[in-house]
Each structure stands twice: as C-alpha cells, then as structure tokens.
C-alpha cells in the first residue's frame, strides 16, 4: 500500500483521493503553505522558477512531512518550463534528504498511472485490478467534471445571490461531501443534487451585472490561494465572472483530450501563432477571442516570469484594443502587494461598471 500525494491545484486532490482509494492506496492531503513555507521554497528554488513551482514544491514538502511515500507530478513535454519542473523538484527534495517514489502524469492517464499505482497495491495480483483501474480513472475524471459544473453554477448564481457568503459556504460544503463520497452512483447523484442546490440559492436578478471573462495560466486561474480568491472579490464588487479554466480542463490538457474535443475553439487562436507558444498560451488566446464579442472586460492572470503568458499579452492586447474591449493583466507571486493588487482590480471594475452604465 502506497501513501500518495501531489501538489494542490484547486480541488484536484478530491479526485485523486478516490483514484488512490479504488486501487487500495492511502491519500495524503498536503497543507497549504503559509508565508514560512513559501520563504523556505524560495530559498530552495532556482531564481527563474515561477510561483506554481514554489507552491508545488511546498505541497510536496508538506506531504512528505505527513508521511507520503509517493509523489505524483503533472508535467510532460512542451515549451513551458512546467513540463520539466518535476525533474527539478525531485532533485531539490532528494538533496534535502527526502526519499520517495516519483511518477509523472502526461499523455494517457491510464498509461501514466497504471504501473506505478500497481506497485504495492493489495489488488495487484488480482483479476480485479484492471477493472478497478478503469473505474478509478473514470471516477477521477467524473469528480473533476462535477466540480467544474458546480463552479459554473456558483459563478452564475453568486453575483446575484442575496447572501453571497452563504452561496460560497454551500459550494464548500458540497466539495467536502464530494471528498467523502467514493461510490459510483453516489458521486453521480451528488453531482446532480449539487447543481440543483446551487441554482436554487435565493437571488435578485432585477439588475443585469457587467461580465468579465478570465483567461490565463491554469494554476493561477484555478487555485484560489494563488489568485487570492479574485473571483469571489469580483462577485462582491457586483461583477459576473465567466471562467472556462478548471481542474477538469487542466487534466484534459495534460492528457491531450482537450485538443481533440476543443479543436474548433483552438482554431480561433492558431492564426495568431506561427509556432506554438508553450504552456496555456494557445488556450489563453482562444478564450480571449471567444470572449471579445460577449464580455464587458477580460482579466488575464499568470505567474510572474511566465514566458508563454507574457507572449500572449503581445498578441491579445492590440487585438482587444481594436475591438474596444477593456483588458487587465495581473502577474502573481508571493510578493504581490495586497494594496496594489486591490487598487488595480477596483480601478478596472470601476471602469467596466462606468462603461456598462453608459452603454459602451
């Protein structure tokens, strides 16, 4: 039996726990790092590495401190440095005297996880192992899809909710229940019930709110700790937010499923690139083009020093300016000042609300 963990990207651990349980392993939840943990990983990290690298490294250290013996990394091939971060993180952790097994998820989920999770599984020599593998992977992806549907329902209702904190609390309550649910039909029923409960939150839709679309690097858009709960802030300011980026989308990109199912969307971005920009750059441009005709503004989130997203800025800024669509880019790391962050966001929201009130 292995004790498995990985870095926290939003609620990815909720799905990973079910996959580990299905194959007879234990799951270790890392603690989200505080300032001390990030200072420690900044000391250990190469200077050029971005914020997600340090956050993932801090999660790995926390998981190993709590007894994990296997770390699952998400990476693979590509221009973005994130594709090779797992190799650097492994070397750093080994240099710190940590001993653990490593596996990298890239391409097919089954091909990536089947072998490493079979080792030391109590079901490894049983005919049930292969069915458990397929069922575990299905539950893994379905849970991520459930979380995506809940988040969409929350984003549709919370800006208009009479009690916004209650809507947020309901979402978190549902996530906690999903974390404790592992049965196939129980997950399906909970997913449907959660959407109904979120859409039934008491709302006041007497006024139509301005809409902002969020694009950018997956980690900073998905993880609320990383982006300082920016979507919740915007909702409190009277802004409806549309964000297509989720844990399900992240895993679909890692496993290449997204590029097969969203070819029409990605086609909108390919005319801007003579060569791939790496990372999430193609998706960011595609979402910007998609949002240009139906959003009152676009917010671009990415880690400080992220080269693919910096290249995206050079493409979409002139494009959105020609379409008269307000655009704000925010780079994030642990040194992002709260006052500057809040001031830029509030100014952007004020501008959009003013434009909306005069019919621009």
**Which residue in 112, 77, 107, 152 sits closest to 260, CA to CA?**
107
Flag whether 77 is in a domain: yes
Q: What is the CATH number of the domain that holds 58?
A: 3.40.50
CA 311, 316, 318, 319 torsion: positive or negative?
positive
Q: pLDDT tens for residues 252-261?
A: 777 666 666 6
- The pLDDT score that the predictor gives to residue 89 is 87
Flag whether 161 is in a domain: no
Residue 90 CA to residue 101 CA, distance in Å, equals: 10
Q: pLDDT tens for residues 263-302?
A: 777 777 777 876 667 778 888 998 999 999 899 999 999 9
Flag whether 200 is in a domain: no
- The pLDDT score that the predictor gives to residue 126 is 79
Flag whether 301 is in a domain: no
Contacts of 147 (CB under 8 A, 6+ apart): 10, 11, 14, 15, 175, 178, 246, 247, 248
- The pLDDT score that the predictor gives to residue 44 is 86
Flag whether 341 is in a domain: no
Residue 272 CA to residue 258 CA, distance in Å, equals: 19
- Within the chain, which residues score under 50 in pLDDT? none
- The pLDDT score that the predictor gives to residue 42 is 80
Cβ atoms within 10 Å, residue 360: 11
Q: Report the number of distinct structural domains present in the chain.
A: 1
Host domain of residue 102: 3-129
What SS3 state is found at 101?
A: strand
Flag whether 352 is in a domain: no
- The pLDDT score that the predictor gives to residue 274 is 67
Flag whether 46 is in a domain: yes
Flag whether 308 is in a domain: no
Strands (E) in the chain, as ranges, are: 3-6, 26-27, 70-74, 101-105, 211-216, 240-242, 297-303, 327-332
- The pLDDT score that the predictor gives to residue 360 is 62
Q: Structure pTM?
A: 0.91
Q: Which long-range contacts (CB under 8 A, 24 or more apart) does 13-18 make?
A: 14/143, 14/147, 14/175, 14/178, 14/179, 15/139, 15/140, 15/141, 15/143, 15/144, 15/147, 15/247, 16/72, 16/140, 17/179, 18/136, 18/139, 18/140, 18/143, 18/182, 18/187
């Amino acid at each position: 039996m292995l004790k498995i963990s990985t870095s926290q990207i939003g609620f990815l651990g909720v799905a990973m726990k079910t996959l580990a349980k299905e194959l007879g392993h234990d799951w270790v939840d890392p603690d989200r790092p505080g300032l001390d943990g990030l200072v420690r990983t900044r000391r250990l990290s190469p200077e050029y590495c971005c914020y997600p690298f340090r956050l993932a490294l801090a999660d790995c250290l926390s998981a190993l401190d709590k007894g994990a013996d296997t770390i699952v990394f998400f990476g693979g091939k590509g221009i973005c440095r994130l594709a090779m971060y797992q190799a650097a993180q492994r070397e750093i952790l080994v240099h710190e005297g940590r001993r653990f097994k490593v596996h990298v998820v890239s391409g097919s989920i089954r091909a990536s996880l089947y072998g490493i999770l079979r080792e030391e599984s109590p079901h490894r020599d049983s005919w049930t192992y292969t069915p458990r593998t397929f069922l575990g992977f299905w539950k893994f992806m379905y849970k991520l899809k459930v979380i995506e549907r809940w988040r969409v329902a929350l984003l549709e209702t919370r800006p208009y909710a009479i009690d916004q904190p209650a809507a947020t609390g309901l979402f978190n309550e549902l996530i906690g229940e999903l974390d404790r649910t592992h049965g196939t039909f129980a997950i399906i029923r909970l997913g449907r019930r959660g959407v109904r409960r979120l859409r039934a939150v008491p709302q006041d839709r007497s006024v139509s709110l301005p809409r902002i679309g969020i694009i950018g690097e997956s980690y900073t858009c998905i993880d609320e700790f990383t982006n300082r709960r920016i979507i919740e802030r915007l909702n409190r300011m009277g802004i409806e937010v549309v964000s297509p980026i989720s844990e399900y989308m992240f895993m679909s990109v890692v496993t290449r499923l997204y590029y097969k199912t969203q070819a029409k969307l990605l086609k909108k971005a390919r005319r801007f690139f003579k060569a791939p920009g790496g990372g999430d750059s193609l998706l960011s441009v595609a979402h910007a083009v998609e949002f240009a005709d139906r959003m009152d503004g676009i917010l671009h989130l990415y880690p400080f020093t992220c080269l693919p997203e910096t290249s995206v800025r050079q493409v979409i800024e002139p494009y959105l300016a020609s379409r008269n669509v307000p655009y704000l880019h925010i780079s994030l790391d642990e040194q992002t000042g709260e006052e500057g962050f809040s001031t830029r966001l509030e100014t952007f929201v004020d501008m959009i609300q003013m434009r909306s009130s005069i019919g621009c």
